[in-house]
Homo-oligomer: A and B are copies of this chain.
Amino acid sequence: MQTPSDNPHARHLIALLDRATAALGEELGRRLDAAGYGDIRETHGCVFGHIGPDGARLTELAERAGLTKQAVGEVATELQQLGYVERLPDPDDGRAKIIRLTERGHEAQRAGFAILDDLEAEWASRLGPERVEGMREALAELLGVPLPAGV
């Protein structure tokens, strides 16, 4: 199954990048499921992936994820019902609410990040660490994402 390479498009970066993203996403989902987080889907990444220990505002999350406030708000509501986040009034701004991970939310985030680290390590063991790091640096440079010097 999956795309055979009997067509020229298979070599295009957009195809390779897309498939690689999908491969990581699917495996992440599988392992999260196996780890007891079967109710977490890929969409939820717009919250888990951009929220820090102190929580964040909806607007902030939406900006970081490149999505609308409405879209992220819907995800936040779902994660709230699942018990992964809570909404607290912002003491400094009556309009805003702080979206914060619950204890279980923190566990899920750590589990997800750990799985992603594992997957990258598996890639590194297949390709050699330099090639994986070369890819990360190349992508970060292209996208303008600063990678901290120390790792």
Q: Is A82 interfacial (CB-CB < 8 Å)?
A: no
Residues 3-15 of A, flagged 1 when their CB comes within 8 A of B and 0 if not, give 1111111111111
Which residues of chain B come closer than 8 Å to A119, judged between CB atoms? Answer: 13
Q: Is the interface of A mostly helix, strand, loop or mixed?
A: helix
B141 and A49 contacting across the interface, CB-CB below 8 Å = no
A25 and B14 contacting across the interface, CB-CB below 8 Å = yes
Interface stretch (choices A33-41, A69-77, A89-97, A123-131): A123-131
Q: Is A1 interfacial (CB-CB < 8 Å)?
A: yes
B116 and A16 contacting across the interface, CB-CB below 8 Å = no
B66 and A16 contacting across the interface, CB-CB below 8 Å = no
Which residues of chain B come closer than 8 Å to A18, judged between CB atoms? Answer: 21
Which residues of chain B come closer than 8 Å to A48, judged between CB atoms? Answer: 9
Q: Is A28 interfacial (CB-CB < 8 Å)?
A: yes
CA distance A123 to B142 in the complex (A): 7
Q: Is A17 interfacial (CB-CB < 8 Å)?
A: yes
Report A's interface with B, CB cutoff 8 A: 1-25, 28, 48-52, 63-66, 113, 116, 119-120, 123, 126-127, 131-132, 134-136, 138-148, 151
With A8-B113, A17-B17, A134-B134 already in contact, 8 other A-B pairs whose C-beta atoms are closer than 8 Å: A2-B143, A14-B28, A16-B136, A16-B140, A18-B21, A22-B66, A126-B142, A135-B135
